[in-house]
Structure formats: C-alpha cells, structure tokens
Amino acid sequence: MTEVLDRPVSGDDRDRMFATTPGLDVDLSVPLGPLTLANPVMPASGCFGPELGPLLPVRELGAVVTKTLFAQRRSGNPSHRLTESALGMLNSVGIPSPGTSRFVHDVLPRYREFGVPVIASVGGLSVAEYWQVTEELAGVDCAALEVNVSCPNLEHGGLSIGADPAAVEDVVAGVAARTPLPLIVKLTPGVTDIGEIARAAERAGATAVTVSNTFPAMAVDVTTRRAVLGNGTGGLSGPAVKPLALRLVWQAAAAVDIPVIGCGGISSARDVVEFLIAGATAVQVGTATFTRPYAMAEIVRDLPGQCAGLGVGAVHELIATLRA
C-alpha cells in the first residue's frame, strides 16, 4: 500500500513511495509508431494537468497527454459537470480550453518540465478548426498529436465527427498534411463498427489510435425529475466500461496494422495487462486518477511484477496474445 505522509510530499518521498520492486529486470518499453515509450502508461486527455505534478513522479510515466486544445478559449459546459455512478463516473465538462496561443506560451512549457514525451490533444468543432489548431502548433516541441475526433461537429448538427468514417479521414488527412509529428487518433465508442473508423484513420495517416473516449450516458435526480448533469447527458467512464473498452480494443487491433492505445476503466497493472493481451500497445488512465492521483505511478511500479508472474521479460511480449 502507498504510505500516507503528514507533511508536504518531496521529490525523494515520491521516488521512495513509488519505487519499482527490486530484483525484477523487466523491459517496460513499447513501440508506438515512430515513438518508443519507456513504459505503456500515460494519462487520458482531460484527466491530467501540470498541477498534479507534485503528487507523483511524472517522469516515470511513458508520456503525458494534454487536455484537448481548441483554437479559441472555451469555458466548457454548465454545472453540474461531474457525478458518480455505480462503478464509474459521468462527466460533462465540455472540454474547457485556453486557446492555442495561451497553450503554447503558458501551458505547454509546464507539461514539458516533466521530462517525458508530451502528446498534445487537438480538438475542433469543425473540420477546419482541427487544421487551424495544427497549423498554430507548427514548430512546437511535442512528441505527437492526439486528434480527438469525439468532438461535436457543429457543421452537422452536433454529431460526433468520429461517427463518420469520411469525416475522420478528412480531418486526419488534413492534420497529417500540416504536421510532421506522429498522429494518434482518439476514437469514439458510439459507432457500429470501431474497425471501420480505425481503418479510416489509418488510411489518412494516423500512426496509432486511442480506443476509446467515454460512453454516452446520463443520470437522473428523481426528486427534481431533472438530469443531474447541467448539459443533460455526459460521458461514462471508470470500471463499469472496462469490458466494453476491452472489446473495442480487440476489434480495432484486429482491423488495423497501427498500434492501439487502450483506454477505459483502467485502474491497476492487471487491467493494463488485460488490455495488452487484447491487442493494445499502450494504455491511458483517466477516472482512476480522480480518486487516486498517484494511480498511474502505482501501475508503473506494479507492471514488472505482473510481467514476471506471467513469465515474460518484456511487456511488449504480451501485446495481442489473446488465445482463441
């Protein structure tokens, strides 16, 4: 168990609290397109900001993913934005954003201080906005871009861009034409065939896909007979969605030749191993960090023991090893 300190947490404290188990020589590195990460663990977009840096040894993560960036400043949705659900959480944050200029000058440098690869999440309420944000990030020191195609497309009445293979291909091809950086495309689960969307992203130049974003959901207050979330509906995440996300990862990995990043309900090293076996190359952790900000560091610490227990000397040996 992680110890609890009655004083401010120092760098030495973090190193001691989250040190890996001695004597286990396990290679945790994973290939992610042209990138090689020191380990497969990173935060999900929107679930980690620089302010959490003092709470865990961020430099021991495989990468950090920024909150989704839009061209202009956005305040997000009205309250309530978060509510608990059985084995999960619903959110309707609405993706607040500082805008590209402030992100580049004020926010990104704080992410880069962690000394691990920084993946900038790009959003857009139209196809053109994705391209605009990408152009405004030209020359910025990032390891990769994650194109969040789960955003509502205002050009088509709010339908998620990620629900339309043609729209995904259009967005990703335009982004690819505007940056030399590796492109990860974050997919929505709200589709009939996740493989079809993943293939569209691959055709357009994606070097990896993230599977997936939150699942559409809602909560009702029986006393007021109103939706609990200020926006009416939101996205469900947490342990409740893990079996659904595992299936989507398995389907996407079977459909494309590029790496898949698994996301959905991951809170332990054992969860990570399940996603790797199902076909993921790396993973993102989201909801677990809301109650346990140190969850990702614990997962990295516990991965060598999980690998050793399964008789493998490298975490990549687990990828796509699901037996029929």
**Active-site positions?**
151
The total of other beta-carbon atoms located within 10 Å of residue 226's CB is 11
CA distance 232 to 244: 23
CB-hemisphere CA count at 13 Å for 178? 21
Q: Which of 173, 170, 163, 253 is nearest to 213 (CA)?
A: 163
Specify the DSSP class assigned to residue 72. S
Element (H, E) at 112: helix 108-112
Q: Which of 173, 186, 179, 98 is nearest to 140 (CA)?
A: 179
CA distance 146 to 149: 9
Q: Which of 313, 319, 212 is nearest to 274 (CA)?
A: 319
